[in-house]
Amino acid sequence: MPIALQVLCGVVLLVLASDAFANAVEWVGALFGLTRSAAGAVVGAIGSSLPETMVAFIALVILGDPHSVSVGIGAVVGAPLLLSTIAFGVIGVGAILLGKRHDAVHAPAPPVIAGLALFCCTFVVVIGASLAPLPGVRIGAAVFAIAAYIAYLAYHLRLRALESDEAPPRLRLAPWLAQPPVWLVCAQLAVAT
């Protein structure tokens, strides 16, 4: 198979898996009484960070040699930068190409601003601490990052007033079911991840 066709097939598979993943995350939130923000902050964040987490775990814990450690650190530090660069680039290109449109995305500003501000602050602290020669500074930054994520989760769990009560779109694996069983939602989530 030519490399261009492999890349095209990979992109198509990535889009389909991303759609199935987002759909399953919405259903996990609906089935367990989470707001969409909380489902994204908990289930979505864990599922979407698994690839770089596994790369870092294998590089740092299992392999452990200096070159592998560099790869693990690069995966952890590089993933948010790469994803944010791509996401903001796509948003910018979309805004330029689509121009002024009358249909808008209605996202509540406070959660978006709070999430981005917390991420930027935490990222700066963690990157700064990674350059510090003292282990205590790095441990303090790790504790700060964990506390920041717990605060972020608590914030999203209290946002119920800002959410709509509409049901998520039908589950991709079973579009004929109005209320899919938990095992089917978990199966779609696992396959999409």
Mean pLDDT for the stretch of residues 27-40: 82
Mean pLDDT for the stretch of residues 7-16: 89
CA pair distance 171, 178, nearest whole angstrom: 8
More confidently predicted of 157 and 92: 92
Cα 164 vs. chain centroid, distance in angstroms? 21
Asked if residue 24 has pLDDT above 70, the reply is: yes
Residue 148's pLDDT band (cuts 50, 70, 90) = very high
pTM of the model: 0.66
Considering only CA atoms, give the Rg of the chain.
Answer: 19
Please give the full DSSP string across 73-112, using - where no structure is assigned: HHHHHHHHHHHHHHHHHHHHHHHHHH-S-S------HHHH
Residue 29: partners with Cβ closer than 8 Å, 6 or more residues away: 35, 36, 38, 39, 40, 43, 168
Contact criterion met (CB below 8 Å) for 180 and 171: yes
Contact criterion met (CB below 8 Å) for 25 and 140: no
The confidence score (pLDDT) of residue 14 equals 85
The confidence score (pLDDT) of residue 3 equals 92
Average pLDDT value over all residues in the chain: 83
The confidence score (pLDDT) of residue 119 equals 86
Mean pLDDT for the stretch of residues 7-28: 89
Share of the chain above pLDDT 70, in %: 93
The confidence score (pLDDT) of residue 12 equals 92
DSSP code for 160? G
**How many CB atoms lie under 10 A from the CB of residue 131?**
8
The confidence score (pLDDT) of residue 29 equals 85
The confidence score (pLDDT) of residue 143 equals 94
**pLDDT tens-digit profile of 154-164?**
887 777 655 55
The confidence score (pLDDT) of residue 165 equals 64
CA pair distance 79, 143, nearest whole angstrom: 21
CA pair distance 9, 15, nearest whole angstrom: 10
Contact criterion met (CB below 8 Å) for 35 and 29: yes
The confidence score (pLDDT) of residue 162 equals 54
The confidence score (pLDDT) of residue 154 equals 84
Residue 121's pLDDT band (cuts 50, 70, 90) = very high
